[in-house]
């Protein structure tokens, strides 16, 4: 999620750059031009890098499918924590698992789908101003109920998937709005970032569960589990 520091009426079609700088892949130049040899793990990896280098097109279908499956993964991960632990924070400035889920719900309602739809329809139209990272306390996230939050998220995500399906085959994902801070933000970049945002917060929930294990270990370390 990107906070919008101010309005701009600029728009641009950035074509081949529709995945955005944040989604571009990095490759090891040491493997460029290396011949592929069947059975060699290193060469298979080099071949994979070559294949990825050629894969410059946005894949809305793959992103859509992961977005559609995420509510089940979110629910499974969040409900690992006990009712009390769902509100637990390792430090005051950190979010609890419940707060993370509430943030995802607000993002679903107020950010990605709204901004992607506006960008596809009229890139010059101003985006609603958002600062969802500061509303956890204002909206009392940690006083809500996890079950109802997860149910609401699943419903809103289903609506998002229905919207994506309704524009499949017709969406001009290269249409972009020029963000005053981040530059051109294409609708395709928003779609890819939407799926990436899911993954980032799933990782955040996993981190809370890891921190709970360390908390509950008492005098014992958890290094046998491996490095975080």
The answer as to whether 165 is a domain residue is yes
CA distance 37 to 87: 52
Q: Indicate the number of domains in the chain.
A: 1
In a domain, 113, yes or no: yes
Tokens linked to 72: 């089940």
Per-residue confidence (pLDDT) for residue 137, from 0 to 100: 86
Domain contains 93: yes
Sequence-distant (6+) residues with CB within 8 A of 159 are 113
CA dihedral for 9, 14, 18, 19, sign (positive or negative): negative
Quote the tokens at residue 68.
């559609």
Tokens read off for 127: 């985006």
pLDDT means per 10 residues, the chain with 228 residues, are: 48 38 34 42 52 70 98 99 98 96 97 96 87 83 98 99 96 92 91 98 98 98 95
Identify the pLDDT of residue 1.
60
Full domain range(s) for residue 69: 11-21+34-216
Whether 1 is in a domain gets the answer no
Domain presence at residue 28 = no
**Both ends of the chain: CA-CA distance in Å?**
25
Residue 29 counted as domain residue: no
Look at residue 108 and tell me if it is in a domain.
yes
CA nearest neighbour of 175 among 213, 135, 118, 218? 118
Residue 205 maps to a domain: yes
Q: What is the b/e burial string over 23-51, where b = at least 16 CB atoms within 10 angstroms of the residue's CB? A: eeeeeeeeeeeeeeeeeeeeeeebbebbe
The domain that holds 51 is classified in CATH as 1.20.120.450
Instruction: Quote the pLDDT of residue 43.
Output: 56
What pLDDT, on a 0 to 100 scale, did the predictor assign at position 42? Answer: 52
- Is residue 113 within 8 A of residue 163, CB to CB? The reply is yes
Residues in the chain: 228
Nearest to residue 67, comparing CAs of 210, 197, 211, 216?
197
């Amino acid at each position: 999620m990107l906070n919008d520091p101010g309005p701009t009426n600029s728009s641009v079609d950035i074509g081949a750059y529709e995945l955005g700088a944040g989604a571009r892949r990095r490759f090891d130049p040491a493997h460029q031009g290396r011949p592929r040899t069947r059975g060699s793990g290193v060469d298979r990896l080099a071949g994979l890098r070559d294949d990825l280098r050629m894969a410059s097109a946005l894949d809305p279908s793959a992103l859509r499918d992961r977005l559609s499956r995420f509510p089940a993964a979110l629910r499974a991960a969040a409900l690992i924590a006990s009712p009390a632990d769902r509100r637990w924070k390792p430090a005051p400035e950190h979010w609890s698992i419940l707060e993370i889920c509430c943030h995802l719900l607000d993002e679903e309602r107020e950010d990605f789908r709204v901004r992607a739809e506006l960008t596809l329809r009229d890139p010059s139209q101003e985006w609603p101003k958002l600062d969802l990272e500061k509303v956890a306390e204002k909206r009392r996230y940690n006083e809500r109920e996890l079950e109802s939050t997860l149910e609401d998220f699943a419903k809103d995500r289903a609506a998002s998937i229905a919207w994506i399906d309704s524009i499949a085959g017709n969406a001009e994902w290269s249409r972009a709005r020029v963000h005053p801070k981040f530059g051109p933000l294409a609708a395709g970049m928003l779609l890819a970032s939407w799926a990436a945002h899911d993954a980032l917060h799933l990782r955040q929930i996993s981190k809370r569960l890891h921190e709970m294990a360390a908390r509950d270990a008492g005098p014992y370390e958890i290094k046998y589990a491996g490095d975080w």
